[in-house]
Amino acid sequence: MTQNLKPGLYIIATPIGNLGDISWRAARILEQVDVIAAEDTRVTAKLLRHLGLKKPMLAYHDHNAELVRPALLTRIAQGAVALVSDAGTPLISDPGYKLVRDTRAAGHQVITIPGPCAAVAALSVAGLPTDRFLFAGFLPNRAGARATAIAELAAVEATLVFYESAPRLVAMLDALRAELGDREAVVARELTKIHEEVVPGRLSDLIAHFTTRPPKGEIVVIVAPDDETPVLSDSEIDTALREALHSLSPAQAAAQVARNTGVNRKSLYARALALKA
Ligand code: SAM
């Protein structure tokens, strides 16, 4: 039975690598809940072992959520249920939002036990503007959908935060450079782990770096807002575009000038069409 904990759903952030990052409160609540809903019970079992705890667990992940949620809501009505993901804060690129929504709609309490989150950890060491940021999570895998998703973000005047896997990093950085220009960025890898690495640079620098040193592990990519890139006058942009248009189509010229100057490709394309006409 619950010891001193009121019934409800406890959203518990867990470490993103270093198990020492579990908060004192998270450990106490994990000790007291009746059951833990975990994204992968094997991963959470490791954390529980580290804390010296044994607890009933059930799996709650993208593939069984619809099936498991009704039974979970019944348990939440009667006792204290924890939701944890494999790492970091549940619901942040992880399952849980429908469970939170339905728990509250059913009149039960949802309590947060905040803690590690890879996006926030990366922002805290990136050295890029943090007054305004947009968390974009994982981009689509397919090149076309990825380019469209990035193009939609081009006009956003905020630092952009992405999650990415190591094998896709270079292709993703390439796509970012093509759509956003050669902005300042940071790759934050394996945060809080032995091989933690924070690599700053223009997107082109990062492409070169990770092409020669293929990365491993877990990665956050942070891209500075557009005005971090050098500002060119309209006539300088026109000169660059005119030169490129000697040998390239408007689309190719816009892409080339975007790469070289960091100016947004879409606006360059419109200008290239006008110059060509
Ligand atoms: N809910 C988690 C959070 O709060 O950060 C994120 C879960 S998402 C499924 C996993 C992604 O987060 C990884 O693919 C990687 O992009 C990022 N990530 C998780 N741990 C990380 C770490 N230690 N260093 C860098 N990125 C990490």
Tell me which residues of the chain have a pLDDT lower than 50.
1-2, 228
Supply angle C-alpha 265, 267, 273, rounded to 5. Answer: 100
Please identify which residue in the block is written with the tokens 């971090």. Answer: 228
Q: Are 104 and 110 in contact (CB under 8 A)?
A: yes
**Ligand 1 binding pocket mutation candidate from 44, 219, 221 (most atoms within 8 A of CB):** 219
Question: Alpha-carbon distance 264 to 269, whole Å?
Answer: 9
Phi and psi for 134 in degrees, rounded to 5?
A: -120, 120
**Spatial distance between the Cα atoms of 115 and 93, rounded to a whole number of angstroms:** 15
Q: Are strands 110-113 and 8-12 parallel, antiparallel or unpaired?
A: parallel
Ligand 1 centroid to 200 CA: how many Å?
A: 19
Strands 197-202 and 159-165: unpaired
Tell me what pLDDT residue 266 has.
86
Q: What pLDDT score was predicted for residue 196?
A: 98
Q: What is the pLDDT of residue 230?
A: 56
The closest of 111, 122, 175 to 146, measured between CA atoms, is: 175
Helix (H), strand (E) counts: the chain: 11, 10
Q: Cα torsion for 213, 216, 218, 220, to the nearest 10°?
A: 10
Query: For residue range 186-230, what is the model confidence (pLDDT) as tens digits?
Result: 999 999 999 999 999 999 999 999 999 999 999 999 999 997 455
Q: Give the pLDDT of residue 231.
A: 62
Test site for ligand 1: of 18, 220, 221, 222, most ligand atoms within 8 A of the Cβ:
220
Which tens digits make up the pLDDT trace of 143-172? 999 999 999 999 999 999 999 999 999 999
